[in-house]
Amino acid sequence: MKTHSTTILTVRSGGVVAMGGDGQVTVGDSIMKADSTKIRRLIDDKILVGFAGASADAFALLERFETKLKDFPANVPRAATELAKEWRTDRALRRLEALMAVVDARHTLLLTGNGDVIQPTDGLLGIGSGGSYALAAARALVAHSNLDAARIVRVALEIAAEIDVYTNTNIIVEELACET
């Protein structure tokens, strides 16, 4: 049975990075939970991590990532790269079905089980079943509005929820100040 469990969006604008996610967890064609929290603050609230995919897989990766952050406390890209290498090469980890979005004051990163660590040029990142819809909405809002990063995330996720059946409007948005 295929599990769909989220839309996560990250927007970096106006000296702030905001990450938001919806609360819906779906198994097959049934909504199992409407108020899940898929964004976590790590390392003294300096890092936000959002995850999409199988929940248990995401939590396993989250724990491993937190360990990598402790190994490389001042270097989020290095911790992400080390996790991605382990994720790709470890026999058990490579079966995990999840994506992770990671942000800190300087970086926005996408981590995948293929060993990818990608930093989007524009600081915008959408993952999960409604990620493309939310990302398109966010790009339009950044270009054609004066909304702050958190409001862009919320509005874009609301738009995605109108299109993607695996995304709901129970939205949580977290923010961090960016380095200038």
Query: Would you say 22 and 171 are in contact if contact means Cβ atoms under 8 Å apart?
Result: yes
Are 40 and 62 in contact by the 8 Å Cβ rule? The answer is yes
Cα-to-chain-centroid distance, residue 139 = 16
Q: List strands edge to edge, sheet with 3-4.
A: 3-4, 25-27, 30-33
Among this protein's residues, is 6 annotated catalytic? yes
Annotated catalytic residue: which of 3, 6, 26, 67?
6
- Answer yes or no: are the C-beta atoms of 59 and 98 closer than 8 Å: no
Distances (CA, A) of 1 to 18, 25, 27, 61: 32, 13, 7, 21
Beta strands per DSSP E along 14-138: 16-21, 25-27, 30-33, 39-42, 47-53, 98-103, 108-111, 117-118, 125-128
Residues catalogued as catalytic: 6
